[in-house]
Amino acid sequence: MPELPEVEICRRQLRRWSQGAVLREVLLCDPAAVRKTLSTRPSDAVEDAAKRLAPLVGRAPQPPIRHGKRLGWAFGDIGLGIHLGMTGQWIRGDNEQPRSGRVGLRFDHVVLWFVDQRRFGGLTIRPTNELPDLLSSGHGPDALDAPCAGPQLAEIFTGRRAIKVALLDQSKITGLGNIHAAEALWRAGIHPGLACNALSTDQWRRLSKAIPDQLQFAVDAQDGDEIAYITAGGPNPFAVYGRENKECPKCNAEIQKISQSGRSTFLCPSCQRG
Ligand SMILES: [Zn+2]
């Protein structure tokens, strides 16, 4: 599943690939990819997908914007909201529909395809001035672009919920998924099972630095023309995630895997005691 860094890289790719180009044609292969709102449900599809996308043709795109894992892409005063869902991505191609190609945007020199095997991803049309609200609706500040200071984090995350579980709550801060929440807690030396109301001022301070550091690390490690998803069998660039029984890069202790709210969490029992 794409996390914030993959979505940020997707944003940069769309900007790079469409720079100075004009949209010439929309190739609509799967009308259900066009939704009434930013939704992961194909049942939210609009009835008139082709008609909704048609006004984009003949316009030059602006650089896309991002909030958390949502993208907005303005074509003049008409905007495209983009949700990648579980398997959505944008690739460069030509007029030929790629495997799982849902919507193709044909520019002068390239066709940019929204491909999505599982079909949870979707596109929606909005006036450009509504895009920022659409992207941030129901979500907290962006974990990379608007990082919170320690005292702010302590105010946002209260109660007895485990910190790792709380960090995945997108309404508090947005953009941390299962991988980067675990990695950020390892960086900060905080046990993922620690209750939010048990974190010290110093732990909040360390976490406030670890979150954007981790996301920036992942963006830098993956930036380029191809996105290497860890789940796709590429090399594992992470310190603890997916490294059960391997050595912690900081202290050589054996990394453990635990389950929290039904999701895997990885930690170093030595570095993350408190
Ligand atoms: Zn360690």
Distance 251 CA to ligand 1 centre (A): 4
Confirm whether 69 is a catalytic residue. yes
Of 3, 6, 8, 183, the active-site residue reads 3
Of 15, 250, 263, 269, the active-site residue reads 263
Torsion angles phi and psi, residue 109, rounded to 5:
-115, -5
Residue 158 burial (CB count, 10 A): 12
Q: Which residues of the chain have pLDDT under 70?
A: 225-234
What pLDDT is stored for residue 221 in this prediction? Answer: 84
- Give 102-146 pLDDT, tens digit per residue: 999 999 999 999 999 999 999 999 999 999 999 999 999 999 999
Distance 182 CA to ligand 1 centre (A): 13
CA pair distance 203, 95, nearest whole angstrom: 52
What pLDDT is stored for residue 229 in this prediction? Answer: 54
Amino acid at 69: K
| pTM of full prediction above 0.75 | yes
Of 11, 69, 106, 206, the active-site residue reads 69
CA pair distance 255, 26, nearest whole angstrom: 48
Distance 245 CA to ligand 1 centre (A): 12
CA pair distance 131, 93, nearest whole angstrom: 27
- Give 161-183 pLDDT, tens digit per residue: 999 999 999 999 999 999 999 99
Of 2, 5, 141, 212, the active-site residue reads 2
What pLDDT is stored for residue 226 in this prediction? Answer: 62
Which domains, ranges and CATH numbers included, belong to the chain?
4-136 (3.20.190.10), 150-235 (1.10.8.50)
